[in-house]
Amino acid sequence: MNQEFSAAYTRALASLLGDRGVFLPSLLLRSYRELGLSDSDFMLMLQLMAFRDSERKDFPTPEELAVRLGISGRSVEQMLGRLIKEGYLTIDDALDSVSGIRYERYNWQGWLERAAQWAAAEEVAAADSPKTEAHARPEPTNEQNLFAVFEQEFGRLLSPMEFERISSWLDQDRYSDELIRFALREAVFAGKLHFPYIDRILLEWSRNRVSTPEEARVHSRNKFRGTGGKG
Domains and CATH numbers, the chain: 25-137 (1.10.10.10), 141-225 (1.10.10.630)
Per-residue pLDDT of 110-151, as tens digits, reads: 999 888 888 888 787 777 654 444 444 444 444 457 888 898
Is the alpha carbon torsion for 182, 185, 191, 197 positive or negative? positive
Per-residue pLDDT of 180-189, as tens digits, reads: 999 998 888 8
pLDDT tens series, the chain, 231 aa: 577 777 776 766 666 555 566 777 888 888 888 888 999 999 999 999 999 988 889 999 999 999 999 999 999 999 999 999 999 999 999 888 888 899 899 999 999 988 888 888 878 777 765 444 444 444 444 445 788 889 888 888 888 788 888 988 998 889 999 999 999 988 888 888 999 999 998 998 899 888 888 888 777 666 655 554 444
- Which of 221, 199, 202, 198 has the alpha carbon at shortest distance from 210? 202
Residue type, 212: T
Instruction: Write down the pLDDT at residue 227.
Output: 52
- Which of 120, 134, 151, 114 has the alpha carbon at shortest distance from 32? 114
